[in-house]
Amino acid sequence: MSMSPTIMSLDALAALVPDGAKIAVPTDYSGIAMAATLALIRRGVRNLHLVSVPATGLQADLLIGAGCVAVMETAGVTLGEYGGAPRFNEALRKGQIKVLDATCPAIHAALQASEKGVPFATLRGILGSDLLLNRPDWAVIDNPFQQGDKIVALPAIRPDFALFHAPMADEAGNVWIGHRREQMTMAHASKAAIVTVEELRPGNFLDDPLLAPGTIPSIYVGGVAEARRGAAPIAMWGRYPIDDAFMRGYAEAARTEAGFSRMLDLLMEPQKAAAE
């Protein structure tokens, strides 16, 4: 088997994403495509509609701070134990981005609706919350099987791209995600997954009964780039921990725009060096 044409460089991957694209990104423990995110920032992408699945942190804060984001659809944006997300919070205060506040299972369910090709999902809960009041794109419908039972209907979320980092891809463009199944749903729900991996491997994972269960078939994958330590400074499960020093520094410095720029430059350094 020859190398799939979907296997490309990090910059080629970033070039797939046009301004205004709707992009789904996973939560921090699930594989953050940080190297690809920095490539997007470097190429100056604008007006992204970012959907966090279901929450996000540094990745969204960097994109927002760099002016790449128009809409943030999320159940939570936080640096976790390092504190609030300073650029997200500031952008909201100043009204620079639109926020679509959601709840975790609503984002999952709306992606699953897209995965199934149905126009909407239903979900328990939410009724009586101010989330519902502020989401005119959501609806309340009747359960046709039980008189008087109201339930929230959520329109399917169909991102242009699912963007995430995974342990490995094979030369056919299949991506092994292991038990991080939310990446499978994100890939299915999106028009195309664009993925960075710690390593490219020969062969075809689908032929291996131990690898196949944790593999996203290439039909869902629009691009794959190798990016070693591609999630850093965020942790990659089973590989490397979060960069504690960077995160502490960022949480403090990014409270100001100047401090944010300094931290972003710090992250860009190695990439710039590699590109030269």
Partner 1 sequence: MGAEYTKKELLITVVARLLQGCGHIACGASSPIPGAAALLTRARSNGRTRVTVLGSEKNNFFTNGGVELFDIAGEGRLDAFFLGGGQIDGFANINLVGTGGTYPNNDVRWPGSFGSAYLYFVVPKVILFREEHTRRVFVPKVDFVSAPGVSEPGVYRPGGPKHLVTNLALFDFDPKRIRFTLVSVHPGHTVEEVLDNTGFDFDRPAMVPVTPAPDAQTLAELRGSIRPEIAETYPRFAETAFAA
Residue numbers 237-256 binding partner 1 by CB under 8 A? 237
Give the Cβ contact number of residue 116 at 10 Å: 12
Residue numbers 122-151 binding partner 1 by CB under 8 A? 123-131, 134, 148-151
CB 234 within 8 A of CB 57: yes
Residue numbers 181-240 binding a copy of itself by CB under 8 A? 181, 209-214, 238
CA 184 vs. chain centroid, Å, equals 12
Per CB under 8 A, does 202 bind partner 1? no
- Token pair 């994958």 is at which residue? 221
Of 43 and 181, CB closest to partner 1: 181
Q: What is the dihedral of CA 134, 116, 29, 79, to 10 degrees?
A: -20
- Residue 139 binds which entry of partner 1, a copy of itself, none, CB below 5-8 Å type-dependent: a copy of itself
Of 154 and 194, CB closest to a copy of itself: 154
Per CB under 8 A, does 141 bind a copy of itself? yes
CB of 125 to partner 1, least distance (A): 4
- Residue 29 binds which entry of partner 1, a copy of itself, none, CB below 5-8 Å type-dependent: partner 1
CB 167 within 8 A of CB 137: no
DSSP 3-state assignment of 208? coil
* Number of residues engaging partner 1 in binding (CB under 8 A): 71
Residue numbers 160-189 binding partner 1 by CB under 8 A? 174, 179-185, 188
Per CB under 8 A, does 80 bind partner 1? yes
Site string for a copy of itself, 97-116 (x = CB under 8 A): ------------x--x---x
CB 108 within 8 A of CB 141: no
**Phi, psi torsion values for 271, nearest 5 degrees:** -70, -45
Of 78 and 196, CB closest to partner 1: 78
The runs of H, that is alpha helices, within the chain are 10-15, 34-42, 58-65, 86-93, 104-116, 130-133, 182-189, 244-253, 257-275
Identity of the amino acid at 149: D
Residues that bind a copy of itself (CB under 8 A): 109, 112, 116-124, 139, 141-146, 149, 151, 153, 155, 177-179, 181, 209-214, 238
